[in-house]
Structure 1
């Protein structure tokens, strides 16, 4: 049994704590917030084995350049001389090729399928009621180009063993009878699922507290000390925390934590926005993704959660209303009967997705310190991949065989 300190209380940190506690380890989670404001709370709640294509793709470079000049576009990189952004951009350009996409598909699929199975298992536990629904997700498209791309992805997904089907507009109507549709078709990602992230996080916190995991909130890490290739203690101002094993699971704050260790964790915070709209009569049966608009809509807690955009910049508290308007304005183009109002600023949630340059998460031991594990960089799939990452972290620390090959996720990969 090891004494383990986890830095970061998002879904990855809490999932790691869950599986470590189950394996008999003594676990402490240290978080700079109060465990109610992480990126894991406000996302679309989608579990997506369908997302086996990393962010770094050849088409994303040219598309990203076009989007740079549109204030309402789904993707934006704020130009700056930020060294982290420059390093990230160079690595992104290096990895945005067909070979990388091909090599990434199998490890991402295996990670996603493991995570989905773990969420299914977790949902059967009496302490965990988080509204897991396995109806898949519908990727709607309006243009022939997007339709061709989605059909190609569906074919590749089926080769990977994923259940995907290309649908005609009539097929879509049968699955979404209460929605007026203006689309050319959709791909039904039958392999996908969705859940309520708010309920999952609350259940996880409650369980961990009851199981004796020490959850320490509102403690910012200010210093980390090391001796002879080992982390020896973590400090929050004058308060110290010691353990046998240390885990960096700080989401978009991980590079700053790594800097205290002299470890480079290359990722950028990708700001995303979401807002909720209550519904008297449920309109959507199955979560929707809007292909061209890059918007997600999920039935959740008696209404719909709308989310989208990826805004790469330094961590900040600004709300870019143009980005939110971009989400709002895209919806009626696909669903003429759905016309969400632009929400008040106080009703808009935003969070920072920790986005690695090659689109793959970091999961595994650091080469620099023998008792340091890094678990971050999941981008838009932190919730989806959280359970699997937690189990893999436990296996790494326990020294047992990993459930899947994690070589592709090595923190020190080139």
Structure 2
């Protein structure tokens, strides 16, 4: 079997390592930072076959322009003269149409359903308790316009074979009897699940190390050597690493790594925020999406994680408190008894979602190299699609037929 180096230790890298090791490959992970700092840790923990509509969809451009003038809005593109952002934006505009949404629905459904199935298998095979719960997600709405849009989404979802139900306010109350609701209704994404990201990431790290996968933190790749159609070695400072196959799974840092091989990946970091609040009463048992506010809320073992926003632009470590306040202020509009306080900066998590222009991940080999696989660009669904991506990467490395078609995820599609 092959010796494989994975560049990136987030959920995509860890999942790839899991399935590559399972297939008999010798695996090494190189991560630029600490594994307890990766993007997936602050994730809402939602496994979402319901999310078959990509970010590049009709109406997003018009809505995005309106949101740009609201400092607390859930979506924001930071103005920049960056040629990468300009190029990404042009591609996004070209894909934000109904045809693309229809073409993307089946690939996104298939990879999501595969991932959901694999999460159950990982829990059984490893014994890691990461809180996998299959009671769905409630997408609450307050306006007739959102109700109409969600009903249309539910209808499309059912056509795709997904279990979704439109609920009125009383039916919502019956599912969450301990919460005071101020909503018009919700769509219950019964096809969805949720997990505890922290338990998953730490559990996978321990499991992989115990089973012979080498994981090196603070090992940023600084150079990549190539010869012909092959990558031959990578460098982390003065240390060199050789392998038969290489996987770039560096999330929002993947373009910088890929550029060392002469490959351009169209991908922009989308900053998101989250924070935890103690909830000993456990009034919420089913995760929630606040449709108009674009906020995700997930119960996690006596706490609630609130998260949201997509701030497109260059990576930076600044916390935009107005975005966080936007999340906080939206909650009591749907749940009058939930009043999270604005957290202090040290309690706010932020991470960079690797957003492709068309809302689909990049998974597969490039035409330029025979031994390089790209696995990135999952946007807000990295945690959700981790296991499926890892299995696909392993099948590609092993030159086996993939569990689902990967043609829509080609790294060379742009």
> Does TM, normalized by the shorter one, top 0.5?
yes
Partner Cα distance (1:213, 1:122) in 2: 16
Q: Show the counterpart of 2:394.
A: 394
Q: CA deviation at 1:127?
A: 2.9
Instruction: Return the TM-score normalized by structure 2.
Output: 0.99
Deviations 1:113-147 (A, max 9, x none): 00000001112235311000000000000000000
Instruction: Return the TM-score normalized by structure 1.
Output: 0.99
Q: Secondary structure at the match of 2:59?
A: helix
Q: Show the counterpart of 1:280.
A: 280
Q: Show the counterpart of 1:261.
A: 261
Q: Show the counterpart of 2:90.
A: 90
Deviations 1:23-66 (A, max 9, x none): 00000000011211011101100000000000001110100000
Partner Cα distance (1:278, 1:391) in 2: 35
Q: Show the counterpart of 2:117.
A: 117
Q: Show the counterpart of 2:312.
A: 312
Q: Contact (CA 8 Å) 1:272, 1:350: kept in 2 or not?
A: yes
Partner Cα distance (2:335, 2:396) in 1: 46
Partner Cα distance (2:280, 2:14) in 1: 34
Deviations 1:378-412 (A, max 9, x none): 00000000000000000000001100000000000
Q: Show the counterpart of 2:178.
A: 178
Q: Secondary structure at the match of 1:367?
A: coil
1:335-346 matches, within 5 Å, as 335-346=335-346
Q: Show the counterpart of 1:377.
A: 377
Q: Contact (CA 8 Å) 2:296, 2:307: kept in 1 or not?
A: yes
Q: CA deviation at 1:162?
A: 0.2
Q: Secondary structure at the match of 1:147?
A: helix
1:361-376 matches, within 5 Å, as 361-376=361-376
Q: CA deviation at 1:285?
A: 1.1
Partner Cα distance (2:93, 2:100) in 1: 11
Q: Show the counterpart of 1:350.
A: 350
Deviations 1:147-198 (A, max 9, x none): 0000000000000000000000000000010111010000000000000000
Partner Cα distance (2:208, 2:98) in 1: 42
Q: Contact (CA 8 Å) 1:282, 1:302: kept in 2 or not?
A: yes
Partner Cα distance (2:261, 2:392) in 1: 23
How many pairs does the alignment contain?
414
Deviations 1:240-272 (A, max 9, x none): 010000000000000100111110011100000
Q: Secondary structure at the match of 1:125?
A: helix
Q: Show the counterpart of 1:221.
A: 221
Partner Cα distance (1:280, 1:57) in 2: 39
Partner Cα distance (1:201, 1:380) in 2: 17
1:115-264 matches, within 5 Å, as 115-264=115-264
Deviations 1:77-104 (A, max 9, x none): 0001011100100000010111000000
Q: CA deviation at 1:280?
A: 2.3
Q: Show the counterpart of 2:329.
A: 329
Q: Secondary structure at the match of 1:396?
A: helix
Q: Show the counterpart of 2:72.
A: 72
Asked if residue 292 in structure 1 is aligned to residue 289 in structure 2, the reply is: no
Q: Contact (CA 8 Å) 2:126, 2:207: kept in 1 or not?
A: no
Partner Cα distance (2:282, 2:107) in 1: 37
Q: Contact (CA 8 Å) 1:127, 1:207: kept in 2 or not?
A: no
Change (3 A) 1:126 1:232: closer
Partner Cα distance (2:182, 2:308) in 1: 20
Q: CA deviation at 1:363?
A: 0.2
Q: Contact (CA 8 Å) 1:230, 1:369: kept in 2 or not?
A: yes
Deviations 1:346-369 (A, max 9, x none): 000000000000000000001111
Q: Contact (CA 8 Å) 1:118, 1:388: kept in 2 or not?
A: yes
- RMSD of the TM alignment (CA)? 0.6
Q: Show the counterpart of 1:21.
A: 21
Q: Secondary structure at the match of 1:41?
A: helix
Deviations 1:203-231 (A, max 9, x none): 10001000100101101111001001100
Q: Secondary structure at the match of 1:9?
A: coil
Q: Contact (CA 8 Å) 1:127, 1:203: kept in 2 or not?
A: no
Structure 1: which 5+ runs fail to align? none
Q: Contact (CA 8 Å) 1:328, 1:340: kept in 2 or not?
A: yes
Asked if residue 62 in structure 1 is aligned to residue 78 in structure 2, the reply is: no
Structure 2: which 5+ runs fail to align? none
Partner Cα distance (1:291, 1:40) in 2: 22
